[in-house]
Amino acid sequence: MKKKYIVLIGIFTVIGIYFLVGFISGDYFKIDGTIAKTDSTWVGPSIYLDNTTVGEERDLVIYGQDLIAHTSKYLGPKGSVAQITNGMNCQNCHLQAGAKSWGNNYAAVFSTYPKFRDRSGQVETIYKRVADCMERSLNGTAVDSNSREFKAIYAYIKWLGQDVQKGKKPHGSGIEKLAFLDRAADPQKGQIVYTAQCQSCHGANGEGQLAVDELEYAYPPLWGPHSYNDGAGLYRISNFAGYVKNNMPYLLTSHASPKLTEEECWDVAAYVNSQSRPHKDQSKDWPKFEKKPLDFAFGPYADPFPESQHKYGPFKPIQKFYTK
Per-position DSSP letters for 92-111, written without gaps between them: GTSHHHHTSTTSS-STTHHH
Contact 121, 104 (CB under 8 A): no
51 and 96 co-located in one domain: yes
Instruction: Say if CB 268 and CB 244 are below 8 A apart.
Output: yes
Q: How far is CA 19 from the centre of its chain?
A: 22
* Separation CA 262–CA 195 (nearest Å): 17
Contact criterion met (CB below 8 Å) for 125 and 142: no
pLDDT digits (tens, 9 = 90+) for 88-132: 999 999 999 999 999 999 999 999 999 999 999 999 999 999 999
CA 272 to chain CA mean position, Å: 16
pLDDT at 198 over 80: yes
Going by pLDDT thresholds of 50, 70 and 90, the confidence category of residue 13 is: low
- CATH (domain of 128): 1.10.760.10
The boundaries of the domain holding residue 58 are 47-160
Look up the pTM and report it.
0.88
- What digits encode the pLDDT tens for the residues 278-295? 999 999 999 999 999 999
> What does the pLDDT read at residue 324?
78
Does any domain span residue 65?
Answer: yes
- What is the torsional sign of CA 17, 18, 24, 29? negative
Structural domain includes residue 52:
yes
250 within some domain = yes
242 and 140, same domain (yes or no): no
CA distance 109 to 296: 22
The number of domains in the chain is 2
Closest CA to 280 of 153, 126, 139: 139
Query: Are both 191 and 319 inside the same structural domain?
Result: yes
What is the Cα 246 distance to its own chain's centre?
12
Other CB atoms closer than 10 Å to residue 37's CB: what's the count?
Answer: 12
Instruction: With respect to residue 112, please indicate whether it lies within any of the assigned structural domains.
Output: yes
Q: What is the mean pLDDT of the segment spanning 167-172?
A: 96
| Residues 87 and 198 occupy one common structural domain | no
Q: What is the C-alpha to C-alpha distance for residues 184 and 74, in angstroms, rounded to an integer?
A: 40
- E strand or H helix at 87: none
Output DSSP code: residue 215: S
Q: Of 121, 115, 114, give the one whose Cα is nearest residue 286.
A: 121
For residues 147 and 237, state if they share a domain. no
